[in-house]
Chain A
């Protein structure tokens, strides 16, 4: 039943415009932050930790934690290994083998403040500082 309802909602969301999806993403990020705040408060009560994760970005501003982008990266990292990607929420804006090319591609979109990431190649040696 829940899955049926989710599928109906997903089908409706797919028909939204890009701008509407951006607004929806901002809304969902705020909801996720509230959920996390509730969980954080529960954690504090149980283990005494001190942290403040409840700073909500203004509508339209990307989440400073980039949670949706990292969720996308966990799912698609292997497909884009060695590439630069630009992400907006859980959507890939563009990918390219160089930053220069990536910026050229992103300039052709109306993505608002995408997150730029270079996905390390599988055979790349691990980061060792300078």
Chain B
């Protein structure tokens, strides 16, 4: 048996870089930030560096406090409602911003990204196919 899916977009990412890196837009009001984020199927949330949240105008600690577990412990992040865009797909999501400014990673995780799209990954050649979930069946 074989299965087929159709996708609207393709992201060609650099296989020489650490992780699968995707250009990502964060929007809040009139403020727009275009940043890099790594696709992380193991992350429950979309998490970004603290300074990006500050630049968006957020008071970080006023968001929803969340302990996020890692392989070696946990860290604290705060959830805020923002618009997250990848390949011109806009999603209104709760994105988390790390409390600790020493955290320098940005990830696209399950809630807010993976649960909004369907995707196909061919890592050998660095291709990520993407559609908004529901646009194709």
Q: Which residues of A contact B (CB under 8 A)?
A: 50-53, 55, 57, 62, 64-66, 70, 73-74, 98-100, 103, 113-118, 120, 124, 126-130
**Pair B9/A53 contact, Cβ less than 8 Å:** yes
Question: How many CB-defined contacts (below 8 Å) exist between A and B?
Answer: 79
Q: Which residues of B contact A55 (CB under 8 A)?
A: 9, 88
Once A53-B9, A100-B51, A130-B71 are accepted as A-B contacts, the answer to whether A74 and B14 lie under 8 Å apart by CB is: yes
Interface centre among A53, A55, A115, A129 (most CB of B within 10 A): A129
Q: Beyond A66-B34, A99-B51: 8 further Cβ-contacts under 8 Å?
A: A52-B8, A103-B55, A113-B32, A114-B34, A116-B36, A120-B18, A127-B38, A128-B71
Complex Cα distance, B101 from A129, in Å, reads: 18
B91 at the interface (CB under 8 A from A): no
**Pair B51/A117 contact, Cβ less than 8 Å:** no
Q: Please report which residues of chain B, range 87-111, place their CB below 8 angstroms from some CB of chain A when the two chains form the complex.
A: 87-88, 101, 104-105, 107
Q: Which residues of B contact A126 (CB under 8 A)?
A: 18-19
**Pair B35/A116 contact, Cβ less than 8 Å:** yes
Q: How large is the interface on B (under 10, 10 to 19, 20 to 34, 35 or more residues)?
A: 35 or more
Main secondary structure of the interface of A (DSSP, over half): loop
**Pair B11/A50 contact, Cβ less than 8 Å:** no
Q: 0/1 per residue, B46-83, Cβ < 8 Å to A?
A: 01010110110000000000001111000000000000
- Nearest residue in A to B109 (C-beta to C-beta)? A130
Would you give the shortest CB distance from A102 to chain B, in whole angstroms?
Answer: 9
B121 at the interface (CB under 8 A from A): no
Q: Which residues of A contact B42 (CB under 8 A)?
A: 129-130
**Pair A66/B51 contact, Cβ less than 8 Å:** no
Would you give the shortest CB distance from A116 to chain B, in whole angstroms?
Answer: 5
Complex Cα distance, B32 from A114, in Å, reads: 10
- Nearest residue in A to B47 (C-beta to C-beta)? A130
- Nearest residue in A to B4 (C-beta to C-beta)? A50
Contact among A50, A103, A118 for B6, CB-based, below 8 A: A50
